[in-house]
Amino acid sequence: MSRKSGILLHISSLPGPDGIGSMGKEAYAFADFLAEAGMHIWQVLPLGPTGYGESPYQSASVFAGNPMLISLEKLKEDGLLRPVPREEEWVEPSNAAQVDFEAMKAHKLAMLRDSFFQSEDRLQREISAFRREQPWVNDFALFQALKKRFGNMMWTQWPDRAIRRRDPSAIARCKTELSDEVHFQIYCQYLFQRQWMELKKYCNSKGIEIFGDMPIYVAEDSADTWTHPEVFQLDRDGVPRRVAGVPPDLFSATGQLWGNPLYRWHRLRWRGYGWWVERMRRMKEMYDIIRIDHFIGFANYYSIPHGAATAQTGKWVVGPGRHLFDTFKKKLPDLNIVAEDLGVVNDRVRALLNYVGYPGMKVLTFGFGGGEDNPHRLTNFTQNSVAYTGTHDNDTVLGFLSAADAATVEDARRLLGFKALSEAPEAFCRAVMNSKSDTAVLSMQDVLGLDGTARMNFPSTIGGNNWKWRMLPGAADAALAHRLRQWNQEAER
């Protein structure tokens, strides 16, 4: 990898008129901003439909897109949405720096249904081609339609056991009964695909690669577990036997209980990892670079009994290791992968990382404390890595230092050379840019020098301000692009 740089900013965090960032003109403007700034990477969070608590890491599908990111303005420009009376227009909430998920979703869903009723018939040829190219969409659309019928109830609790178990006659009946809703869900996925691929093509034409994030696990309540129960450690009723998490550590005395179903890796290997190959094929289509979240789970994963109150009763189990990545190399030889290697990195994990050769991650805000051998200390950054000021799960630089003890702040000052806390975000950004790492990715919040109120997510929490942050209109201006271009030139990126 040549030395290059980019910015981490999820689509939902863009400004714009839909109450949430979308794939409209603001996204294209941000691509122009990146090009002006000399950046060559735009990193985004998972693009799937958000689940409980609006987390993009708990999605109803690993293949689908989030319809809430569709641009209504672009639909109007394309003649797929009629003009509506002024009183029906979306009014930007009073706090433009946050997404109002409840109000936004109600409005956007109504507008998408309006578009569907107007435009489905004249798009039949394109939609039919989309269904052939993306066969997962048919099962996903039926899953969403059934969720709506059963009041958004988790699929393992649907009252009809035949539907839960996908009895062919029951599925055929549901497809007929729910035909309109199924076609609407397919229509939304078609629109997402259309807008996303247009945006990606534009970014690529500007020399910008899309760097996407892929969670290792799927949500328990997802089309994936319903349609492919054989892939996961589930009982006959679809309930997980064991679930994912991480053990107790310095940050949590009881560990983290994520609750995602684990994979049946032996069965997957016997079947040539077919489901995983198709998943990676879809990721390759969506992104130029794929960050695999929780990469350590391929070397060894933490397995917790379903129903456990905490993660303390879990155990480590050997993962698929090299064989899975040999399969990827054979069937998808040009995958461009980055390994999220944060967490418990033991010898097995290190051996797998050395074998596959993927770049790992270095996070500068993790680099204070833990002694001189801390792998995230700036002096220990390696060339084959992607360097960050922080990730979506971390506080901003200002938030981090405001909450840190005096020794940590002094260590950061001594290493990075800033005096006032207000100077710290730039110091952290420039340190990452000038590091040994081949790739440097800056959080947009740190580029803008924002405090902890702009944090994207608090891990192991639901609700609050998680996933709500939005960049204010005009923040990514020409002056900021000029400053970033200077940083790139200084760092020879």
Q: Would you state the pLDDT for residue 462? A: 82
Q: How far apart are CA 28 and CA 22, in angstroms?
A: 10
pLDDT at 87: 67
pLDDT of residue 191: 98
Q: Is the pLDDT of residue 464 over 90?
A: no
The whole domain housing 202 covers 4-491
Angstrom CA distances, 114 to 74, 118, 188, 189, stand at: 14, 6, 11, 15
pLDDT of residue 263: 98
pTM of the model: 0.96
Q: What is the CATH number of the domain that holds 354?
A: 3.20.20.80
Active-site residue, 54 included: no
**Considering only CA atoms, which of 380, 331, 334 is closest in space to residue 360?**
380
Average pLDDT for 132-158: 97
Q: What's the pLDDT tens digit per position in 162-182?
A: 999 999 999 999 999 999 999
Catalytic entry in 26, 221, 340, 395: 340
Q: Is the pLDDT of residue 252 over 90?
A: no
**pLDDT tens digits, one per residue of 372-392:** 889 999 999 999 999 999 999
Residues sharing a CB contact under 8 Å with residue 348, sequence separation 6 or more, in sequence order: 299, 300, 318, 321
Cα atoms in the Cβ-side hemisphere of radius 13 Å centred on 214: 26
Do 406 and 369 form a contact (C-beta atoms < 8 A)? no
Residue 461 pLDDT grade (very low, low, confident, very high; cuts 50, 70, 90): confident
Q: 319 by DSSP, 3-state: which?
A: coil
The fraction of the chain above a pLDDT of 70, given in percent, is 99
Of 100, 393, 426, 438, which one is the catalytic site residue?
393
pLDDT digits (tens, 9 = 90+) for 64-77: 999 999 999 999 99
As for how many domains the chain has, the answer is: 1
Catalytic residue among 293, 341, 395, 446: 293
- Residue 378's Cβ-side half-sphere holds a number of Cα atoms within 13 Å equal to 22
Query: Which of the two residues, 431 and 93, has the higher pLDDT score?
Result: 431
CA separation for the pair 183, 189 (Å, rounded): 10
> Is-catalytic flag, 334?
no
Is residue 78 part of the annotated active site? The answer reads no
